[in-house]
Structure 1
């Protein structure tokens, strides 16, 4: 969407804060031995308490309140009977709607005992996301997002997952601009405009460059034993630094 009023900004900030609070509480309550379904139910309760609706369930009939992906499953993981284990890398991706506004955010984190390499991966993915966000404003070419993601990944010794993209959001879960690639595409002539609402979500990998859909029709996994971390914010483009709405 493109912001049309201060009410739009406030509506996005409200749902963005709910999404951020949900992720924060789910991470805080994640424990070894807990199933991903139990963790998902916590998220669903928080969203309901704040009058928000899980967007993947409402939009695509996704079988869960949030996407919870563990280790080599990296996106769109279905909550179920899988038990969290010590040392797992977990990704929680929450998108929700309230009052006609949508926000989308994700967070990857390791469970203790902490592997320094996996802790670094998660932190580096977060730092990459923030570096991209800090570089965006009205007039910047859209392909700068992919250029920075790819460059930062390579500097850190990682690769980007090339078939998982950032996207427009705001009045629905996925909007234009679509397919904001995580690598540089010189043919993409699109330009960021003031008021544009998009996600920024790098997926950084220790090996694989592509995610593969599993037979359940949802879960995306790496075809090797690499690990992947994703962090995601919903932002509003301005003439200066973007407004991050998915903060608590």
Structure 2
């Protein structure tokens, strides 16, 4: 059941999504070799609560933390730990908040210190996959066009596109219909219309597309243990151009310094 949003509801989702972006920017200030993902999680939770919101992930189906922090070969749903990050790691930081009864959701993959050029290329292409998907998330296109945009760009570079995990609708619930796969055929699937709010989140692997789930019931990692990258925006479908409700600009402002 797809819940279409009014203009007022989209503004509330924008407020939540921008708080997610600001939280990721706050976390970005502290990402360096030696810091633990548990410490980053603590910083995020404090920041979210100080801004009058609730961490969306904490307690969600039993998830123990405010952030999903996925290091290197972990694709998504990594649980923060006391293990220190080291130079050359990459970490996907996925964050959600609940504010004024509406959710926001976004993710960004960060380099820890200097990373290998081929890993940097994976991050660049994954972020480009998201941009290409957002470009086609407009009135009159279809869900398959979004998946196709991601899949074509990633596979052209020889990367694996994760199929088991998908983007999703966002609103009064963290995960709503429709599911938004990162693969698909042009011109297929549900028609995109105004009022549809979705999280688009390419998960792209350096090697095989195949993934496994850890015994903890959450952590998903690449089967060949090669790195994986993940970027996510919450967007509202609109005419001509998608309305991106989250932003990377505040995060990248921090990364420039």
| Shorter-chain TM-score above 0.5 | yes
- 2:163 is aligned to 162
Structure 2 distance, partners of 1:81, 1:153, is 33
* Stretches of structure 2 lacking an aligned partner (at least 5 in a row): 251-257
* Stretches of structure 1 lacking an aligned partner (at least 5 in a row): none
SS in 2 for 1:87: coil
- 1:91-170 → structure 2 map (5 Å cutoff): 91-170=92-171
SS in 2 for 1:102: strand
Q: Is the 8 A contact 1:74 1:228 kept in 2?
A: yes
- 1:172 is aligned to 173
User: How far is the alpha carbon of 1:207 from its aligned partner?
Assistant: 0.8
- 2:255 is aligned to none
> Size of the alignment, in residue pairs?
246
Structure 2 distance, partners of 1:159, 1:214, is 19
SS in 2 for 1:121: helix
- 1:2-81 → structure 2 map (5 Å cutoff): 2-4=4-6, 6-81=7-82
- 1:206 is aligned to 206
C-alpha root-mean-square deviation of aligned residues, in Å?
1.5
SS in 2 for 1:113: coil
Residue by residue over 1:158-205, the C-alpha shift from the partner in whole angstroms, topping out at 9 and shown as x without a partner, is 121111111111111100112x22111579531111110001111111
Using structure 1 for the length normalisation, give the TM-score. Answer: 0.94
Using structure 2 for the length normalisation, give the TM-score. Answer: 0.91
Distance 1:138 1:186, change over 3 A: closer
- 1:240 is aligned to 240
1:190 paired to 2:187: no
